[in-house]
Amino acid sequence: MAGLDNQIVIKRVRKAAQAHHGGAWKIAYADFVTAMMAFFLLLWLISMTTPEQKKGLANYFAPPSVSESQSGAGGVMGGTAPNVEGAEMAGNNASKSENVALAPESADLENKKPGKGGRDGNEVITRDGRNASNVNLSSTRDLAFHSAAASVRQAWQSMPNITDIENNLLVQETPEGLDIEIMNQAGRSMFPEGSKFPFEATRKAIAAVAPILQKLSAPIAISGHTAAGGAYDDPHYGSWELSADRANVVRGILGEFGVSEDRFDSVSGRSSAEPFFPNDPYLTANERVKITVLFAAPPVPPGMAP
């Protein structure tokens, strides 16, 4: 029985699988990447908008009932209250309306005749002596032209096929109205040399502004311009003829895409007489076509002197 004392014991060790690690960090990392992508997308969208669009968005989200006055309690009434008569605002003069009705007893009786502007025959004028109705019409007109300029820029920005010529397109507001310049640049022309017909990208840029100009209901003047020193093969066809033909072709494109014929005030060729850069009339950028939407005088109501 001696063999029983030497028993062999086999010990089997079972290795347990390691516990599964948590995946919370993956979710946090995915959220971080998503937030960064949204942040950069926001930066890109902000960089693509114009100042006019930013201002419009800010005005859209501005509280409509908040007063900008800094006087008194800063409320809607600017810290003022009606006086005993209830006809005026007592307090800071800055809270009063800019338009006041001048009807003193010593005023000229001629101003009290019907048809002089006010409901009671008194002419309503502003503090700087301008007629209030003219001021309102001017403000409405300026706002319409400012909105049209922003719409033209936005229309061009939304056209990827004219990205290469975006530096050739210029929109600016002037005392005469709204100027839209389609000009050549060094190495990039809007018209083939010596031709009155524009490139296809130029044609699309002109067509894009036609519906916007039609909504303004203002007269349009188109003028063609060339740079000084140009050479022409035909002695009977020079810069004057070319600039006039280009202006007329642009008029035809605008008419084709929505601008009615009665809206055009003038179409002219100016050759090199009015360079964009007067100090260097030989620059390529002087060769251009200018579309000017003119400020039209408001119609005079019956019974009123112009």
pLDDT digits (tens, 9 = 90+) for 190-220: 999 889 999 999 999 999 999 999 988 889 9
Supply the pLDDT for residue 111: 45
Distance CA 119, CA 201 (A): 54
* Token duo for residue 40: 């950069």
pTM for the complete prediction? Answer: 0.54
Which residues, 6+ apart, have CB-to-CB distance to 18 below 8 Å? none
Supply the pLDDT for residue 305: 52
Section 107-135 average pLDDT: 45
Sorting pLDDT into bands at 50, 70 and 90, what band is 16?
low
Section 123-137 average pLDDT: 47
**Cα angle, residue 180 at apex, residues 47 and 268 outer, rounded to 5°:** 170
Section 172-199 average pLDDT: 89
Q: Are 244 and 237 in contact (CB under 8 A)?
A: no
* Token duo for residue 185: 């640049």
Distance CA 158, CA 48 (A): 10
Domains of the chain: 97-130 (no CATH), 143-294 (3.30.1330.60)
Q: Are 160 and 258 in contact (CB under 8 A)?
A: no
**Would the pLDDT of 269 be above 90?**
yes
Supply the pLDDT for residue 42: 86
